[in-house]
A and B are shown apart, each in its own frame.
Chain A
C-alpha cells in the first residue's frame, strides 16, 4: 500500500513540529525517517498512524488513494511498533500477539483455533517458540521488541510504522534485529516506514532515506544519493560527509 502525505503541518503550542511536509512512499518500499531529536520524525510517523492529528488546513494523508486524514487510529490499522515496546504487561506473550485478532468485529474475527494457529506461526517466525505463556516482564529487551513486532504483524497490516524500534536495545541485539527486519521485509514487502536517529541503521536498512531537520524535509533519496550528493550543509554535516 502506498502512502501520500500532502502539505502536513503540526504545531504544539508555538512550536512548529512539522512545516508543510510532502512525502510519498511507494508500495512495498522500506523508508527511513532520519534526523536529530526534535526534527519532527516521530511526530510525522504518529500522524501517519493516526495517533496524532495534523493541524487543520489543506494537509491530507492518503493510504493507497483513500483519504484517511480524519480517520482514527483504529480505523487506519497501521501496524505500529513503539520504542519502548508498549506491550500489555498484564497479558501473556500469546495474548499480546492475539490482541489485534481478538478485537476484530464478529464477521471478520477468526475463530479460536485459527487465532491460536497464527500466534504459534508468529512465535516461530520471531524465534520465540514456547514463550507464549510468559509475561512481558520475563523477557529481555530484544525479545520484547520481537513480540511487539509480531503483535503488530498479526492483523496483517498494509503499512508497518516503527518508531525507533531498536533505540532501547544494545548494539549486538540491534544488529541482529536489523538483519531480521530487512529479511522480513524482503519476504513480505509490506510498506514500511521507520524512524531513527542512527545514520548507519537508516543506510543499512532503507531503500530510501528521508532526512528531517526542524520539521522540514531536507532531502529524500537512496543512501547512495545522499552520501554522494548531499543537498545542503545540514545533510552533509549530519551524515558526516564532505560537500563537493
Chain B
C-alpha cells in the first residue's frame, strides 16, 4: 500500500549541490564578508568624499586653488609618466625572459620579481638614500658632478620604479608561460622576424594582461607613500607628491583640502578598479 515516493514532480526545490551549505551558514558567511567589506573599505571611501565636501562644492574646488596642491598633482603625474612606461618595458622583458628562456636561476629571477611585495617600501627608499644620499656610497661622486638624486625627482622616480616594478611582470609571466610559443614559432617559419613576431603575434595575445599590469602599476606609482616619503625630503612645491601632500595638509589641520586631494586618489582607485574588472573579463573572454 504505502508506495515509496522517489520523486515528487510537484515539488519545485532547486537541485542542491553536494557542497552547498545550509541556509543559515550561507547567510552567516555572506553577512560576515559583506559586513567586513563595508566596514573596512566602503565606509572609509564614503568618509573621504563626505569630508571633502564638508564645505560644499566651493570648498572642494577651493582646495585645488593652491600652488602647493597643483604642484603636488603635477609632480605625481610626472613621476607616473616616467615610471609606468619604464616598468612596462622592464616588466615585458622580465616576463619574456622567464616564460621563454630556460636558464640557471630562472626560478630565482621569478621570485625576485615579487621582492617589492615583501619588502617594506620604507626600505626601498632607504636603499636609495644609502646609495645616492650625501653620506651614501655614490654620494660624494654625484655631488662632485652636481647631480642630485635624493630629495629630488630622480630619487622619487627610482623608488617608485622599485615599488611598482612587480606588476607588469607578475601579470604577464604566468600568462605568457601558459600560452606557450607555438604561435610565435608558426610566425617565424612564415618568415616573420623578431620584431614582426612581437607586434603581430605576441602583443595581441597578451594585450589585456599587459593593460591590466599597466593599470595596477599606474595606480601604485601615483599612490606610493612610504618609499617616496624617505627619498623626497618633503619639500613643499618641490618634492611633495600627492600622497605626501595629503599628509602635510592633514598635519596642518587643513581637513577639507586634505580630504579633497585624497578624494582624487580615491577616485583614481575606483577608476582602476573598474578598468581592472573590465580587462579581467576581456582576458577571460580572449
Task: Check B188–A73 contact: CB distance below 8 A.
Answer: yes
Chain A 95-139 interface residues, beta-carbon cutoff 8 Å to B: 99-100, 103-104
Min CB distance, B13 to chain A, in Å?
38
Report A44-86 CB contacts with B as 1/0, cut-off 8 Å: 0000011100000000000000000000111011111010101
Task: Check A103–B196 contact: CB distance below 8 A.
Answer: yes
Task: Check A51–B189 contact: CB distance below 8 A.
Answer: yes
Q: Which of A50, A51, A84, A151 contacts B190 (CB 8 A)?
A: A151
Task: Check B190–A100 contact: CB distance below 8 A.
Answer: yes
Task: Check A103–B183 contact: CB distance below 8 A.
Answer: no
Task: Check B187–A51 contact: CB distance below 8 A.
Answer: no
Is residue A210 within 8 Å, beta carbon to beta carbon, of the partner chain?
Answer: no
Say yes or no: A72-B182 contact (C-beta < 8 A), given A88-B201, A90-B204, A90-B205: no
Is residue B185 within 8 Å, beta carbon to beta carbon, of the partner chain?
Answer: yes
Task: Check B191–A86 contact: CB distance below 8 A.
Answer: no
Is residue B25 within 8 Å, beta carbon to beta carbon, of the partner chain?
Answer: no
Chain A 1-55 interface residues, beta-carbon cutoff 8 Å to B: 49-51
Query: Number of A residues whose C-beta is below 8 Å from B?
Result: 27
B184 nearest CB neighbor, chain A only: A86
When distances are taken between beta carbons in the complex, the residues of chain A under 8 Å from B286 are 90
Say yes or no: A100-B191 contact (C-beta < 8 A), given A84-B182, A86-B183: yes
Min CB distance, A86 to chain B, in Å?
4
When distances are taken between beta carbons in the complex, the residues of chain B under 8 Å from A50 are 188-189
When distances are taken between beta carbons in the complex, the residues of chain B under 8 Å from A79 are 189
Min CB distance, A176 to chain B, in Å?
23
Task: Check B191–A155 contact: CB distance below 8 A.
Answer: yes
Is residue A152 within 8 Å, beta carbon to beta carbon, of the partner chain?
Answer: yes
When distances are taken between beta carbons in the complex, the residues of chain A under 8 Å from B193 are 74, 103
User: Within the assembled complex, what's the spacing in Å between the Cα atoms of A154 and B286?
Assistant: 27
Task: Check A74–B192 contact: CB distance below 8 A.
Answer: yes
Is residue B100 within 8 Å, beta carbon to beta carbon, of the partner chain?
Answer: no
Query: Number of B residues whose C-beta is below 8 Å from A?
Result: 17
Interface centre among B191, B196, B200 (most CB of A within 10 A): B191
When distances are taken between beta carbons in the complex, the residues of chain A under 8 Å from B190 are 74, 77, 99-100, 103, 151-152, 154-155
Chain B 173-219 interface residues, beta-carbon cutoff 8 Å to A: 182-183, 185-193, 196, 200-201, 204-205
Say yes or no: A77-B182 contact (C-beta < 8 A), given A103-B196, A103-B200: no
Q: Which of A74, A84, A87, A90 contacts B189 (CB 8 A)?
A: A74
Q: Which of B182, B185, B192, B205 contacts A99 (CB 8 A)?
A: B192
When distances are taken between beta carbons in the complex, the residues of chain B under 8 Å from A74 are 188-193
Task: Check B187–A99 contact: CB distance below 8 A.
Answer: yes
Chain B 3-42 interface residues, beta-carbon cutoff 8 Å to A: none
Say yes or no: A103-B205 contact (C-beta < 8 A), given A86-B183, A86-B186, A88-B183: no
21 contacts between A and B (CB under 8 A): A49-B189, A72-B188, A74-B192, A74-B193, A76-B189, A80-B185, A80-B189, A86-B186, A88-B187, A88-B200, A88-B204, A90-B286, A99-B190, A99-B192, A100-B192, A103-B187, A103-B193, A148-B186, A151-B186, A151-B190, A155-B191
Interface residues, chain B, with chain A CB atoms under 8 Å away: 182-183, 185-193, 196, 200-201, 204-205, 286
Q: 7 shortest A-B CB distances, which residue pairs?
A: A100-B190, A86-B182, A80-B189, A73-B188, A86-B186, A103-B192, A90-B204
Besides A86-B182, A151-B190, 6 other A-B contacts (C-beta < 8 A) = A74-B193, A87-B183, A88-B201, A99-B192, A148-B186, A152-B190
